Amino acid sequence: EENGAKSSLLQYVTRLVCGPPSLTLPGPPSYFLIGNMLELAHDHLPLHLTGLAQRYGSIYRLRCGNTTIVVLSSSEVIREALVKKWSDFAGRPDSYTGNIVSGGGCSISLGDYTEVWRAHRRLVHSALQRCCQKSLHDVIERHALCLMNVLTDYKGTAVDLSEDFTVAASNVITTLTFGKEYDKSSPELQQLHHCLNEIVGLWGSSWISALDSFPLLRKLPNPVFSRLLKEVVRRDDIIQKHLDDYKALSDTHVHMATVDLLIGGTETTAAWLNWTIAFLLHRPEVQSRVHEELSVVLDGQDPKYSDRHKFPALNALVQEVLRLRPVAPLAVPHRAIRDSSIAGYFIPKNTVIIPNLFGAHHDPAVWPDPYSFRPERFLEGQGSTRALVPFGGGARLCLGESVAKMELFLFTAYLLRDFQFVLPEDVPLPDLKGVASVVLKIQPFKVIALPRHRQPS
Ligand code: HEM
């Protein structure tokens, strides 16, 4: 709040010195009734919004029904809104469908910025910090070892690893939330993943977002929306069954915090692992370099997160994949809580802000050759880690950032120490464009995990 007050004072002084912020944001022509709905209906929205930034600049507006959406596509404007003026833009838009999937706005990710939300986020954040200090390392290590055993059992056959990555990432989170882990074949796990996947996929579909902008559509039959409602009921049954064991924790907020961690923590980490393997198939020499670094530095020992600074090539790989494929490419929409400004433009209260993290990570002014996979850029001092914003920033910074960073480091260290990932014969290299919904995923692909000489312990 104090920062908020300071930033308001700063804005007031800036306004006195520079005059009022300009009113007209650039943007594509907006049409009667539909506004810019067509711009938002593209199948790879982050890429499309990044293309529009080349025409209209790093801050532009779109209209959708009677809502103005401002898209931010450079790390500079994203930082101005999310970090410098965090208290102006920490809200979430009120949305009909968002309320349905978040138990009436009781989740951390979709809840608006209120006193209750702040207490809620603080509580879950401190619980996660305690885990990070105490047991998280062991939990991740354990699931990295399980994952390696699964890969060893494939005995060098060509397989799609995406499900194994999802199981590993999700077992870290279910160990933290339910104190349980699941076997890949467990019907309970399969049901949970199917349901969470459906919710994330359906909620990103334009059939659903149209309901937010055009209330009249809610009166018409909408089979996609019916499916979403069914999956939300199924999700809540599954979570409730677990929380019934802890009667004291059974209120909607705890329920939704569990949903936040499961949804936020499973698909993201798993998608990132898939991207990493795919990029390494495209540039096998990067894989060799990271493996060599791991062999020399570890010298037979297991990787420890506290030693991460000893692995520059591995860290560069993690950062480059986070840059090229930020798995939450458009973050989660923010809402201006009060009148404010970004880059000198006036932003009225209630404007929806889309931080286009994908766009910021492909900004040619910051990243030379932005579309190429070149982890070495981080070793050569090109591009700035300050401009890397895969977890967002400010009041809405990804709640699982420290969990995710530990997972990405340890999973990758174990996998690349003990396996060589190779492309099966007669199979094309994985397509790197991706499928963008709320999470940016890669199309399924097959890979061979060849055990290195050293067998997993
Ligand atoms: C929110 C990225 C992993 C839990 C977010 C946001 C981004 C993000 C961009 C939106 C920030 C905004 O609204 O400005 C990522 C990436 C991950 C990752 C790139 C891994 C590679 C995780 C994990 C967890 C998690 C492992 C849980 C343990 C959450 C939650 C929110 C969130 C609860 C909502 C925060 C809020 O609205 O205050 N994440 N995330 N994420 N993430 Fe993550």
**121 pocket-lining for ligand 1 (C-beta < 6 Å):** yes
Is 398 among the annotated ligand-binding positions?
yes
Give the model's pLDDT for residue 82: 97
d(CA 313, CA 316): 5
Q: How many Å lie between the centroid of ligand 1 and the Cα of residue 344?
A: 28
- In the chain, the amino acid numbered 254 is V
Closest Cα to atom 32, ligand 1: which residue? 398
Measuring CA to CA, how many Å separate 412 from each of 137, 140, 208, 287, 390? 14, 11, 36, 11, 18
**What is the ipTM metric for this complex?**
0.99
- Convert the pLDDT of each residue in 62-95 to its tens digit: 998 778 999 999 999 999 999 999 999 999 998 8
> What mean pLDDT comes out for the span 207-216?
79
d(CA 281, CA 279): 5
Side-chain-facing half-sphere of 273: CA atoms under 13 Å:
33
d(CA 361, CA 59): 15
Least confident window among 5-19, 218-232, 262-276 = 5-19
Q: Quote the pTM value.
A: 0.83
Q: Does domain 2-451 have CATH number 1.10.630.10?
A: yes
Residue 222: pLDDT band with limits 50, 70, 90: confident
At which residue do the structure tokens 């007209």 appear?
24
**46 pocket-lining for ligand 1 (C-beta < 6 Å):** no
Residue 11: pLDDT band with limits 50, 70, 90: low
**257 pocket-lining for ligand 1 (C-beta < 6 Å):** no
Q: How many Å lie between the centroid of ligand 1 and the Cα of residue 384?
A: 21
**174 pocket-lining for ligand 1 (C-beta < 6 Å):** no
Give the model's pLDDT for residue 259: 86
Measured at the CA of 352, the angle between CA 349 and CA 356, to 5 degrees, comes to 135
Q: 243: Cβ–Cβ under 8 A, 6 or more apart, which residues? A: 249, 250, 254, 255, 258
**391 pocket-lining for ligand 1 (C-beta < 6 Å):** yes
d(CA 22, CA 423): 53
Q: Is 86 exposed, middle or buried (0-12, 13-18, 19+ CB in 10 A)?
A: buried
> What mean pLDDT comes out for the span 347-367?
95
| Ligand 1 atom closest to 407 (CA) | 26
Closest Cα to atom 28, ligand 1: which residue? 400
**327 pocket-lining for ligand 1 (C-beta < 6 Å):** yes
- Convert the pLDDT of each residue in 295-347 to its tens digit: 999 998 999 999 999 999 999 999 999 999 999 999 999 999 999 999 999 99
Pocket test for ligand 1, best of 86, 132, 398 (most atoms within 8 A of CB): 398
